[in-house]
Amino acid sequence: TLGGGERSVFQGSFRSSYLINKRLGVKLSGQYLRGEDWEFDDQTEAAARLFADNNPEVCKAGLIARGWDSSTAELGCGRVGTRDYDLERYGFEARADYRFATDGTAILTYGRTSSTGIELTGLGAGQTVDWIYQFFQARMNKNRFFAQAYYNTSDAGDSWLLRDGVPLVDKSTLFVAQAQHGFSMLDDKQDFTYGFDIFRTRPDTEGTINGTYEDEDDVNEWGIYLQSKTILSDQLDLILAGRMDDHSMLDGQVFSPRAALVYKPVEDQSVRFTYNRAFSTPTTLNYFLDISAGVAPDEDLAKLGFTLRAHGTGPNGYSFQDSPGTLKGMRSPFAPGAILPVDPSVMWPMAMGVLQAQIAAGNLPPELAPLLPVLAGLSPTASDIGIVAYDVANGKQTALEDLNLSAVSSLKESYTETFEVGWQGILDGRLQVAADAYYTKKNNFISPLVVVNPLLLLNGLDVGGFIAAPVTGAIYEQLRDLGMDHDQALATATAQAEVIVPQLATGIGSVPLGVAATDEIPSQGSDLIVTYRNIGNIDLWGADLSFSLFLDAFTVNGSYSYVSIDWFQVRGYDPLSLNAPMNKGTLGLAYRNGSGFNAEALVRSTAQFPAESAGYVGTECRKKPSDPVGEFDEECVESATLVDLTMGYQVPNTAATIQLAITNLFDSPYRSFVGVPNIGRFALVRVKYDLF
């Protein structure tokens, strides 16, 4: 096949198979794609680019402090926020099948894929350059015995995160071995299937992704299972299954049961009742991710020097408090280096520097400058000025003495229990329908990356009360030096202070001076820490419906899915998003005839939904007007209705087929998540030719 289309796309593929002899066959296939991605202006990347341009030495010093050498730091600062929208992918696969018995086959497969382009991560977009994925697979089956082993490798090539420009190294591997067998008895009315799996995950990121966890991030898993199918009658089947798994990061084994009852009242129709308790183990990233994501996603925080760091829970977790109201320490962009005490006397000199910068930038009246020496000479204590903790995710402020941050615990497995009833059948030989409804309970739900440490500010009201007398006194002395008598100077100073003090208090109390930190995370930056959490239990229910109606040369098909929530509150945590719409559906019309022409039109519709993952937060549509707005927040993913069109034509008396595919026919801008570009129309024409 050869094809081309909009966005400068060129595409080609081939597939060929050969019978070497009666027992051995081989297949070769490959594909190639290049084009231009849709453009997107990531505000966080733009802020990081601006900061690197205006402060090249500061940017370089920050990367060197994180462990990079001088040349790599210079390279990183030079490519922050520089997107290359050209994409290129190619892949190749070779397969050999050997039939060693009438009921036995051995298969060897090798595949390799290389990718260059922009890929999304939980820490912003990444620029991939020659990221190579390879797999080696050997499998065999004889009668009901099946076994396979495969080995996957990854090499990130010259790839980097766009928010900080430093390299991403990924030379990880995965080894898997599986075997399955089964047997029947009682005249095939009873059937058993059993087997086992082994997974050995070996991350290798040279510290660029797993950071301080690099030498303790190996994961071993094994599982065994048994399934029973019993034919109770001609119309009723009972299926029971159980699985036991062990994970090297979890305590003990995990048991997963399943049961299903399938009833067939008439031919071509069936009703099923199922219960399933499955589990998902945390990924290696959930546990071992330790990577700086560059500047904070909020532009104002980025300008102040705050940064973002993703840090997995590790095997033991970590905490930011020794006890409620007592933080272990803080880091500040105004005093980089060691962890500092959370104390007004430490924060006050930083506030003076911020105040001076605000006056110089014109954000505060220049006539306040003479008061800076007076304020700089003050030394507040905790009884004079309180400290406020600010949650960037939801905009909530809490007095330090009332702050109670829950410790970040090592992740546990997440369970999903599902009860489902479903029906499928064929009516009148033309209409095929499937419908089901389900109730799901998720236990120990693992969140997306969420911010877990607050910013720290001086309480503006306390600042106003603390500086009122010194400011009034300073103004009074200035007026007395100008010759004004005592009573007039005092009245004038008091009046001016009533205007000046709120301005100063606002200027000091509105700027974050630090961020809660812990020595359990070896970071030198003023990092907002994002991590994963087990956030408790959530319940939801949903329903799915699909149908296909066959009318001679035409086929009408459609689907609809509903889920009861897309935004849920778990006690003790801020609301989280399901990252999927409550309603979505499709409706299609296909045409095929014997002349070689075929066509299909498909309408896809999705409802608006909130989305949240690390710095990508779009939840405004679910918040109440009275709710505070977090620093990262933006609009939800908008609803969209799109039309796709595909057509094909077999050229008479040739082996060529011409195919046209148009996605988003009417060029309606839409985005599928927060932080991604609006996608417009894309049309591709392809010619498929069968050589022999």
Per residue in 565-596, pLDDT tens?
998 877 656 677 888 999 999 999 999 987 88
> What confidence tier does 542 reach under pLDDT thresholds 50, 70, 90?
very high
Specify the pLDDT at position 615. 66
Residues 6+ apart with CB under 8 A from 562: 542, 543, 544, 582, 583
> What confidence tier does 191 reach under pLDDT thresholds 50, 70, 90?
very high
Q: Which of 310, 316, 80 is nearest to 210 (CA)?
A: 310
Specify the pLDDT at position 468. 93
Characterize the bridge pairing of strands 597-606 and 640-650: antiparallel
Share of the chain above pLDDT 70, in %: 98
Residues 6+ apart with CB under 8 A from 682: 5, 6, 7, 9, 662, 663, 664
Q: What is d(CA 665, CA 645) in angstroms, rounded to the nearest whole number?
A: 7
pLDDT in tens, 410-430: 999 999 999 999 999 999 889
Taking 90 as the threshold, does the pLDDT of residue 257 lie above it? yes
Specify the pLDDT at position 338. 84
Taking 80 as the threshold, does the pLDDT of residue 393 lie above it? no
Taking 70 as the threshold, does the pLDDT of residue 203 lie above it? yes
> What confidence tier does 612 reach under pLDDT thresholds 50, 70, 90?
confident
Site of tokens 């200027």: 507
Specify the pLDDT at position 217. 92
Mean pLDDT value across residues 335-342: 89
Specify the pLDDT at position 614. 61
Q: Which of the given ranges, 233-247, 400-414, 484-498, 571-585, has the highest pLDDT on average? A: 233-247
Tokens of 169: 């190294």
Mean pLDDT value across residues 195-220: 92
Tokens of 621: 């549509």
Mean pLDDT value across residues 51-64: 85
Specify the pLDDT at position 292. 82
Angle at 319 between CA 318 and CA 323, to 5 degrees: 145
| DSSP secondary structure letter of residue 337 | S
> What confidence tier does 304 reach under pLDDT thresholds 50, 70, 90?
confident
pTM reported for the whole predicted model: 0.83
> What confidence tier does 692 reach under pLDDT thresholds 50, 70, 90?
confident
Which of 51-60, 108-117, 137-146, 580-589 has the lowest average pLDDT? 51-60
Specify the pLDDT at position 631. 65
Mean pLDDT value across residues 635-653: 93
CA 416 to chain centre: 20
Q: What is d(CA 614, CA 285) in angstroms, rounded to the nearest whole number?
A: 14
> What confidence tier does 318 reach under pLDDT thresholds 50, 70, 90?
very high
E strand spans, 248-304: 253-263, 269-280, 290-295
Specify the pLDDT at position 537. 84
Site of tokens 């004004």: 484
Q: Kindly report the average pLDDT of the chain as a whole number.
A: 91
Specify the pLDDT at position 4. 96
